[in-house]
Amino acid sequence: MKIIPQGIDFMTDILFPRRCPVCGGIVLPKGDLICPGCMTKLSWVRRPVCKKCGKEVLDETIEYCYDCTRHKRSFDYGLSLINYDDTASRSMARIKYNNRREYLDFYSEAMVRKMGKRIRFMDGDVLIPVPVHPSRRRERGFNQAEELARRLSGPLGIPVNTSILKRTRKTAPQKSLDSGGRLKNLEQAFTASVLPSGMKNIILVDDIYTTGSTIEACTRALRKAGAEHVYFVTIFIGHGQ
C-alpha cells in the first residue's frame, strides 16, 4: 500500500523539485526546506528588541524603538523572525508575484521552531491573517498572510479565522509614504465584525512589519469589534528608525 504514495512523491520531486526560498535553486539534500548555506544569508532577529513591535534595538537599556516612542500603538506587542533586507525582499517578492507559496513552508516551520513558545504564551484564541482587498486577491490568486496563518495553525494548535477582519477599501501604494501617511491611507480600509463570545485574544498574522501602520489599522478595527488583546507575528520586520 505504501508503494503508490512513494511513487507519487518520487515523481513530484522530479517534476516539481523544492526550491530554496533564498537562492531559488533546487534544495539538496532532498527533504530540506532551504539550502544549508543559505540559512546564514538570512538576517535573523536577535535580542535586544523593542518591547512593543519587536524590532532590534541597540542595547538592553532601550525599551522601545524610535518608531514606537513616537507613535501610539493599540496592539499589545509583536514578534518577527527575520530582518527585512535585500535578501528577504527578493524572497518575499517571489512568493507574492511568482506564486512561490512553498517558500512559506520553510518560514512557518522556522517561526514555530524559534518563536513557538512565545507565540503560545500570547494565549491567542485565533489567528487572523491581515486581509488583502478582493481585487488584489483575484489578481494574485491568494493572500500570503492567510497561507502563512494556515501553516502556523496546526503546529501551534490555534485556529484560523478569515471571516472577521475584512479589507473593504483598496488603498494607494504604501511605499512612498511615511508612517503617518501610511496610517492615514489605511484609515477605514479595514472592518471587523463583532467577535464571538469567548474570542478575546487575537493574533494577527502578516508577512512583513515595517512602520506598523497596517497592524495598527487592523488592531483598531478589532478593538472596536470587542478584542481585549491584539498581538501580531510576521516573518519579516523592517529595521528601526
- The CATH number that applies at residue 231 is 3.40.50
Based on the fold, state whether residues 80 and 129 are members of the same structural domain. yes
109 within some domain: yes
**31-54 pLDDT per residue, tens:** 999 999 999 999 999 999 999 999
Mean pLDDT of the chain: 91
1 within some domain: no
Q: What is the mean pLDDT of residues 94-114?
A: 97
Residue 66 three-state SS: helix
178 within some domain: yes
Q: What is the mean pLDDT of residues 98-121?
A: 98
Does pLDDT of 2 surpass 90?
Answer: no
SS (H, E, C) 202-241: EEEEEEEECCCHHHHHHHHHHHHCCCCEEEEEEEEECCCC
Amino acid identity for residue 120 in this structure:
R
Q: How many domains does the chain have?
A: 2
Based on the fold, state whether residues 99 and 177 are members of the same structural domain. yes
Based on the fold, state whether residues 105 and 121 are members of the same structural domain. yes
Based on the fold, state whether residues 91 and 158 are members of the same structural domain. yes
CB within 8 A of 5, min separation 6: which ones?
Answer: none
87 within some domain: yes
**187-237 pLDDT per residue, tens:** 789 999 999 999 999 999 999 999 999 999 999 999 999 999 999 999 999
Provide the residue range defining the domain that includes 127.
43-235
64 within some domain: yes
The pLDDT score that the predictor gives to residue 199 is 97
Based on the fold, state whether residues 15 and 124 are members of the same structural domain. no
For residues 52 and 173, give the distance between their C-alpha atoms in angstroms, rounded to a whole number.
Answer: 25
Closest CA to 51 of 78, 74, 75: 78
Based on the fold, state whether residues 110 and 228 are members of the same structural domain. yes
Q: What is the mean pLDDT of residues 148-170?
A: 96
- Put simply, whether the predicted model's pTM sits higher than 0.85 gets the answer yes
Length of the chain, please?
241
241 within some domain: no
- Residue 76 half-sphere exposure toward CB, CA atoms < 13 A: 20
81 within some domain: yes
2 within some domain: no
**8-36 pLDDT per residue, tens:** 444 455 557 999 999 999 999 999 999 99
For residues 232 and 209, give the distance between their C-alpha atoms in angstroms, rounded to a whole number.
Answer: 9
**Pairing verdict, β 201-209 and 126-129:** parallel
Based on the fold, state whether residues 55 and 116 are members of the same structural domain. yes
Based on the fold, state whether residues 29 and 76 are members of the same structural domain. no
The pLDDT score that the predictor gives to residue 178 is 59
Q: Give percent of the chain above pLDDT 70.
A: 88
What cell was used for 82?
527575520
Based on the fold, state whether residues 22 and 124 are members of the same structural domain. no
Q: What is the mean pLDDT of residues 55-76?
A: 95
Based on the fold, state whether residues 82 and 199 are members of the same structural domain. yes
Contact 53, 73 (CB under 8 A): yes
Does pLDDT of 184 surpass 80?
Answer: no
**CB 203: neighbour CB atoms within 10 A?**
26
The pLDDT score that the predictor gives to residue 146 is 98
What cell was used for 127?
489567528
The pLDDT score that the predictor gives to residue 239 is 83
Based on the fold, state whether residues 13 and 129 are members of the same structural domain. no
**Pairing verdict, β 229-237 and 165-167:** unpaired
Based on the fold, state whether residues 22 and 50 are members of the same structural domain. no
Helix H or strand E segment including 129 = strand 126-129
CB within 8 A of 42, min separation 6: which ones?
Answer: 22, 82, 87, 88
